[in-house]
Amino acid sequence: MEKLLSILKEIRPDVDFANEQDLIGSGILDSLDIMEIVAEIGDAFGITLSPADIVPANFHSAQALWEMICRKQG
């Protein structure tokens, strides 16, 4: 999880990812942020995200992202 938080902080240093629970609904992340996150976590965690993975539920919070990464890693 620390690695993920570090990646997120590099992309958006102004956001408190450890505590924010509605990254999509509150408009904190836009589509460009999401695409950058997808690329970075793919490289960092050795996973490939399909279009089916790129849904708001997986990007609401750092915890939701972490759970998706864990599922993809098996």
CB 59, CB 37: distance < 8 Å: yes
**Share above pLDDT 90 across residues of the chain, in percent, rounded to a whole number:** 99
For residue range 18-43, list pLDDT tens digits in order: 999 999 999 999 999 999 999 999 99
The pLDDT mean for the chain works out to 95
- The whole-model pTM stands at 0.91
Give the helix/strand (H/E) hosting 36: helix 31-45
Does 70 have pLDDT greater than 90? yes
Name the band, by pLDDT with cuts 50, 70 and 90, for residue 74: confident
